[in-house]
Amino acid sequence: MEQKLKAAQRKIAGPVPAASKTAPPLWPGVIRYYWDLLPVKKQQSVVTLLEGNTPLVRCGNLERAINPDMQLYLKLEGLNPTCSFKDRGMTVAISKAVEEGSRAVICASTGNTSASAAAYAARAGLQAYVLIPQGSVSLGKLSQAMIHGARVIEVEGNFDSALGLVKEAARRFPITLVNSLNPHRIEGQKTAAFEICDSLGKAPDYHFLPVGNAGNITAYWKGYNEYLEIGLTTSLPQMMGFQAAGAAPIVLGKIVEDPRTIASAIRIGNPASWKSALAARDESKGAIEMVSDEEIIAAYKLLAGSEGILAEPASAISVAGVIRKQKERVFRKGDVVVCTLTGHGLKDPDTAIRHSTQPTRIAPKLELLEALFNEEEKK
């Protein structure tokens, strides 16, 4: 298996000479690509939208803005089929649900899990029930869950109360829980760490990512450790998790009853995978810290304006974290730093519009357009 995986390693490529161009092999989705390292047993139970194989983009403009001596890569998880990293875990969780004969799935969600569960359940022919905190899920995510045919239930409360309810429901009724408490979700999500190592040919020095319910930091740490154990890498990254200051239970060491942040995806006060996030932090000699909403929005705008990459605010927190750690001078020359951008910015167009220059309206006259060009040049 080791050889097979080694052969499959996808190094970051330079230009491909015309003479040697061949069609790239079809990507089979994370379950089939990492078959030996995942729990799905039967080929016929695989439910996939060919998730994974997302770009790992080197960001020179950000490097110049933050620290030209580091190599900064962004893993664009918003380019998965439902536009977030959740699809990696959902393909495994839904495939296992099919394998085990389940007819329905349930989750609580700040939006992305519900969008992904709804899509994969639709593909598998299962009924999805998604519980969302009333009034605090962005429009893109809500519309996905609805159009994929999930039964959408708005809970009069926050994410934490919705999660409590679905946990109880999954205990009492014949329905499969597909939150990241389901270990198959973690198994699927660890494949992002595999892909990063495959692309770089080694593990990074630091891995920055947002922490909400804390499943993803748990999954990445598992993935990095498994690659080390099977000999495909020789080191581990320091795991750097970030929470929003108004929703930072792990940083504060206590449940936050009324979590608040502009980053609605990580508006969580009592994370399910709290303990394993602490283990990832401590075993990797990393950190879990918090940044303000202002820092999140500054990073969100920097990403969009200087690299052309639109990620949702919760995702931009990983870049805000790099900026914060640069101020503390933690990086050494040549450090390879990876940030996961967990979800696409189009999930939440309201936030993009609110933080941008508003459109200028003109009559269809060339001189009016010319006046605008002149104005722009003077800036």
**Options 188, 215, 223, 269; binder of ligand F0G; rule CB under 6 A:** 215
Nearest to ligand F0G of 170, 314 (CB atom): 314
Query: Nearest distance from residue 161's CB to ligand F0G, in Å?
Result: 13
Residue 82 binds to ligand F0G (criterion: CB under 6 A): no
Residue 276 binds to ligand F0G (criterion: CB under 6 A): no
Nearest to ligand F0G of 47, 266 (CB atom): 266
Residue 309 three-state SS: coil
Residue 113 binds to ligand F0G (criterion: CB under 6 A): yes
Residue 261 binds to ligand F0G (criterion: CB under 6 A): no
For residue 359, count other CB atoms closer than 10 A to its CB.
7
Query: Nearest distance from residue 232's CB to ligand F0G, in Å?
Result: 24
**Options 160, 187, 205, 312; binder of ligand F0G; rule CB under 6 A:** 312
**Options 29, 111, 237, 249; binder of ligand F0G; rule CB under 6 A:** 111
Residue 216 binds to ligand F0G (criterion: CB under 6 A): yes
DSSP secondary structure code for residue 357 in this structure = P
DSSP secondary structure code for residue 160 in this structure = H
Query: Nearest distance from residue 152's CB to ligand F0G, in Å?
Result: 13
DSSP secondary structure code for residue 284 in this structure = T
- DSSP string spanning 189-255? HTHHHHHHHHHHSS--SEEEEE-SSSHHHHHHHHHHHHHHHTTS-S--PEEEEEEEGGG-HHHHTS-
Query: Nearest distance from residue 63's CB to ligand F0G, in Å?
Result: 23
Query: Nearest distance from residue 160's CB to ligand F0G, in Å?
Result: 10
Beta bridge partners of 105: 128, 176
Rounded CA-CA distance 10/29 in Å is 15
Residue ranges in the chain assigned as alpha helix (H): 2-8, 30-33, 60-66, 86-99, 112-124, 139-147, 159-172, 183-189, 191-200, 215-229, 249-252, 274-283, 293-307, 313-327, 349-354, 366-378
Residue 46 binds to ligand F0G (criterion: CB under 6 A): no
Residue 289 binds to ligand F0G (criterion: CB under 6 A): no
**Options 102, 191, 213, 261; binder of ligand F0G; rule CB under 6 A:** 213
Rounded CA-CA distance 314/209 in Å is 9
Say if residue 320 is exposed, middle or buried (CB neighbours under 10 Å; 0-12, 13-18, 19+): buried
Residue 110 binds to ligand F0G (criterion: CB under 6 A): yes
With CA atoms as reference, report the closest residue to 312 among 161, 148, 61, 111. 111
**Options 74, 106, 214, 248; binder of ligand F0G; rule CB under 6 A:** 214
Span interacting with ligand F0G, options 36-44, 207-215, 253-261, 285-293, rule CB under 6 A: 207-215
User: Would you give the binding string for ligand F0G spanning residues 141-180, x where CB under 6 A is met?
Assistant: ---------------------------------------x
Rounded CA-CA distance 308/62 in Å is 11
Residues that bind ligand F0G (CB under 6 A): 84, 109-113, 180, 210-216, 265-266, 312, 314-315, 342-343
